[in-house]
Structure 1
């Protein structure tokens, strides 16, 4: 059975206006959105710590699922990240999905004490990290996993998270897409980095890797981060009237297999998220419902 299509909003972790993230998340939950995503760039002086902010937002809400997009692996060791995610899952009633990335902005990561990795090394480290995280979630008395970059050796895992706690990867290159299909439950690409013309090839790589690993690609959550604006006149992809947004979302779901959409307004966030929730999402949900 196909996964239901989810709709969400991105909330930037900006601390200059302290109440803004909570105000936007409260609005999104009230308006019936499913997901809240939060960037994780710890080296950004303008940002809260993403994990702390998400914990605060979870405590202040009841229904929305929270997703780091994506957790900065080089600055968050996977065994501790797994422990934090499992704790979040249990405390929030299953309202976390672990978005995870190999890393970017290496000079900034290195300036904060993290490693600098090349592309191949970063993907290798991510693959090991996934194994470590799975081991930490296994509920086994003693867990061993990993390799050259990360490993656990005889650690006692806990708490054991719910089955809702999935790993979603932010991936673009061929090896990362293959890793997504082989080992992850979800995918978090962004329109700004993976345009509509490249989406078919990327989804095919994920689906092929899933088949190769004996997995059903229809069970992989594929969430497209949509940067743009809802405006009276069309100016481009995801920059135009609500009707255009509805048509494009329906096309991506039916023709490209995308089953989640998160709006990243480029400006006027509260009004734009309200337009998305009230004018786009209900019509798209209705058209895509079984």
Structure 2
């Protein structure tokens, strides 16, 4: 991402998502803030509680159960926010991650936030209460389950005194644009446009990322030329 931010001027970058158990949150916060400032505010920090635990342990990281992983993520978010606060010193965290009296900085742009790749009930609740954005992926959470997950996020946000509409909800779409339909997000460009439009209007999703399963350059060109303009016209009417 450091290389790509230096080669571009408008593209926004989001790691989807950083494997937290391999990256100390205080250092991650400083690195993210530095890259955000160097890129002119074009970074969003995507975080995950952890995955591929055998590989994490093999690299010297911890092995955590589901509850412990979510607890650690919540503490990491507190540490990262404190490191971005611009205050003279930072104190935050708990049993897994903690900073005490450290001088934070640099303070990032106002656009740098924390986006979570969340699927389980506790992670969705944490997203609604404390995150700036949500990054589900089609292959892990199909359109038929999106509504229930969004409702949990929105309910948690309201209970925390937040406006649920302010939480970015960006769907990672892995699929293919093809002449014949073979299911959701695997079919003609018109089908894609209709499916995306429905997710915005019916469920409140407000961002989409296309991950082609193959033939990447051609697929991205099709998406840009034949899907995006139609969705924008649909939503404008």
Does the TM-score normalized on the shorter chain lie above 0.5? Answer: yes
- Please state how far the C-alpha of 1:71 moved relative to its aligned partner: 0.7
1:72 is matched with 19
CA distance, structure 1, for counterparts of residue 224 and residue 23 of structure 2: 33
- Please state how far the C-alpha of 1:235 moved relative to its aligned partner: 0.7
User: Residues 289 and 162 (structure 1 numbering): CA distance in 2 closer, same or farther, change over 3 Å?
Assistant: farther
- Please state how far the C-alpha of 1:282 moved relative to its aligned partner: 1.1
Q: Secondary structure at the match of 2:13?
A: strand
2:109 is matched with 162
For structure 1, list consecutive stretches of 5 or more residues without a partner in the other structure.
1-53
- After superposition, residues 78-93 of structure 1 pair within 5 angstroms as 78-93=25-40
Aligned with 1:130 (options 77, 93, 101): 77
Q: TM-score, normalised by structure 2?
A: 0.99
The yes-or-no answer on 1:112 pairing with 2:67 is no
Q: Secondary structure at the match of 1:233?
A: coil
Q: Secondary structure at the match of 1:65?
A: coil
- After superposition, residues 125-274 of structure 1 pair within 5 angstroms as 125-274=72-221
Residues 134-156 of structure 1: CA deviation (Å, up to 9, x unaligned): 00000000110000000100000
Q: Secondary structure at the match of 1:66?
A: coil
For structure 2, list consecutive stretches of 5 or more residues without a partner in the other structure.
none
Q: Which has the higher contact order (CA 8 A, sep 6+)?
A: 1
1:282 is matched with 229
Q: TM-score, normalised by structure 1?
A: 0.81
- Please state how far the C-alpha of 1:268 moved relative to its aligned partner: 0.3
Q: Secondary structure at the match of 1:67?
A: coil
Residue correspondences, number: 237
